[in-house]
Structure 1
Amino acid sequence: MLNPQWLRTFSTLVELSNFTRTAERLDLTQAAVSQHVQRLEERLGLLLIRRPRQIELTPAGHALLAYCAEVTAADQRLQQQLSATDGEQGEVSLITPGSIGLALHHHLLDIQQDLPGLSIRHRFAPDADVLAAVLENRFDLGLATLKPADARLKVVRFAQEPLELVVPAGLAVNTWADLERLGFIDHPDGQAMAGRLLSRRFPGSPGAHRLPCRGFTNQISLILDPVARGLGFSVLPRYARLAFAQPERIQVIEGAPQVVDTLWLLHRAEWPLSARAQTVLQRLKPHFEPDALQPPG
């Protein structure tokens, strides 16, 4: 069996790509870091190619890194199983898309303030990463906008989230020409979301891809900043709009038909959720029931 300290040193070195920083993080000497890698290479063969300011993994190095991840996941599972009955102690990990993540953020902080024994780890990620993280047991819970069909997962409806057409406050936007004059503030899912909503609101229009683009950002919390400044409009999920800090500077253009996405809660089906994960879910769900969702405006 490989020494767990050697494995921790190796995975940290790969993460940081620097012997000095690895030694500092692990409270070791640089010589000790080099020695741990040497011991592993004596057992497994060449793991690293050392280049100036860079470390490149050999095939054996990649295999060992995957093994380190498996060991870490196994250790986490053991810790979770040993403390699974305590609903107010331990770590709960959650991975979600950005819009719902913004809405969850302050509720998660409230839960931690009420239950200081809980440590909540929350990451924003697209659907594909959410699915992989839950399947690989790197996160207890996930939320996704697409319902996965995988027997290893338990999937239940968590919330619904409409797409919204958001424009600067005080502007009358009634026609396609109004949108063309404003221009579109794009984001990674912007074209897809705009295409889905605007094709229904403005049938017969040239399509969202024909609108002039006035800006782009990949940070969901920043998408509405240029809209608030009058630089354009955007289409994004409602929870992202509700999290915007300056609601008086934007407005939602209501209309029919709506485009409403379902957010699906995922976790592994083969074992029960820990008591602490159930505690977090019980506290979150009332905030995302249909009558708790703030109407647009």
Structure 2
Amino acid sequence: MLNPQWLRTFEMLAEAGSFTRAAERLGLTQAAVSQHLRQLEDRLGLLVFRRPRGIEITPAGRALLDYCAELEVADRRLRGRLAESGAESGEVGLISPGSIGLAIYPLLLDLQGAHPGLAVRHRFAPDAEVLAAVLANHYDLGLLTLKPDDEHIAATRFAQEPLELVVPAGATARTWSDLARLGFIDHPDGMAMANRLLARRFPGNAGARSLPRHGFSNQIGLILEPVARGLGFTVIPRYARRAFARQDAIEVMEGGESVVDTLWLIHRAEWPLTPRAQRVVAYLREHVEHTA
């Protein structure tokens, strides 16, 4: 890597046409200008011819001037990218679990629609992938259902999300035998969620695995479709239930003890969020709180 001060001296020397004028404009001694040139020529070869009336740039010197111009362009590009860190322009990446993702993605699109300079990149992923993606700087922000224990991650409470027992509209699930009659619609986190909630609602039960399983879906947006068709019940986070289009075809069984998960907003702890990322966080906090 060539010393930037040497390059600046060479550019000024080529522009001024003499060591004396270059030294004056740079506030250096002629000896310092000569030393900088010598350092460059030791690495790159002859850069200037010294003439009685000034200097003449060699082909190698012209190539170095082109290199200096390229550095200037790269510097402007970098400054431009950093300038894009405004609150209403540039890209923001956010990765989240499916349930909260269904709630926030339309909000992110609303924000992008209001600020066309903003580009939103969102991905649905399980907790482990969310954490890994933020650690690797692939995403600015992440949402987790468990608070991470990692010094490189800053985590703040974002929202709370209850688990819900969802049945077909008009059905009932007041007893364990009601659940057995309906049958369970499973999903990737279904058994774990069902055991957590049902253990509180129906103490002493045999566990969700003892219930007949009437279906399975790994698509967060489709888990409630078989429930809406009367094929069984499920346990699902509230944001996923609220995102389902056919609310009239399902029913949430209230009553009994609840299970509420805390959602954590994470980002890299070593540096502050960009203004646009802060804008996204503030917007989501405001609107998600209104829908919680």
Per the normalisation by structure 1, the TM-score is 0.71
Q: Distance in 2 between matches of 1:155 and 1:83?
A: 27
Match of 1:136 in 2: 136
Match of 1:182 in 2: 182
What secondary structure, in the 3-state scheme, does the structure 1 residue paired with 2:221 have?
helix
Q: Distance in 2 between matches of 1:260 and 1:210?
A: 24
Q: Distance in 2 between matches of 1:200 and 1:217?
A: 25
Cα distance 1:280–1:227, how it changes in 2: closer, same or farther (>3 A)? Answer: same
Do the aligned partners of 1:163 and 1:237 also contact (CA within 8 Å) in 2? yes
Larger radius of gyration: 2
Do the aligned partners of 1:84 and 1:274 also contact (CA within 8 Å) in 2? no
- Root-mean-square deviation (Å): 1.6
Match of 1:229 in 2: 229
Matches within 5 A, 1:21-170: 82-83=82-83, 85-170=85-170
Do the aligned partners of 2:157 and 2:262 also contact (CA within 8 Å) in 1? yes
Do the aligned partners of 1:80 and 1:274 also contact (CA within 8 Å) in 2? no
Match of 2:240 in 1: 240
Aligned residues: 216
Do the aligned partners of 2:184 and 2:213 also contact (CA within 8 Å) in 1? yes
Cα distance 1:82–1:167, how it changes in 2: closer, same or farther (>3 A)? Answer: same
Do the aligned partners of 2:104 and 2:288 also contact (CA within 8 Å) in 1? no
**After TM superposition, which residue ranges in structure 1, 4 or more long, deviate above 6 angstroms?**
78-81
Q: Distance in 2 between matches of 1:191 and 1:87?
A: 41
What secondary structure, in the 3-state scheme, does the structure 2 residue paired with 1:222 have?
coil
Cα distance 1:117–1:265, how it changes in 2: closer, same or farther (>3 A)? Answer: same
Q: Distance in 2 between matches of 1:96 and 1:132?
A: 12
Do the aligned partners of 2:167 and 2:251 also contact (CA within 8 Å) in 1? yes
Match of 2:203 in 1: 203
What's the CA shift for 1:293?
Answer: 3.7
Q: Distance in 1 between matches of 2:139 and 2:97?
A: 14
Report sequence identity in percent. Answer: 65
Query: Could you report, residue by residue, the CA deviation over 1:4-57 in whole angstroms, capped at 9, with x for unpaired residues?
Result: xxxxxxxxxxxxxxxxxxxxxxxxxxxxxxxxxxxxxxxxxxxxxxxxxxxxxx
Q: Distance in 2 between matches of 1:253 and 1:206?
A: 20
Structure 1 unaligned regions, length at least 5: 2-77
Is the aligned partner of 1:219 residue 2:235?
Answer: no
What's the CA shift for 1:176?
Answer: 0.3
Structure 2 unaligned regions, length at least 5: 2-77
What's the CA shift for 1:81?
Answer: 6.7
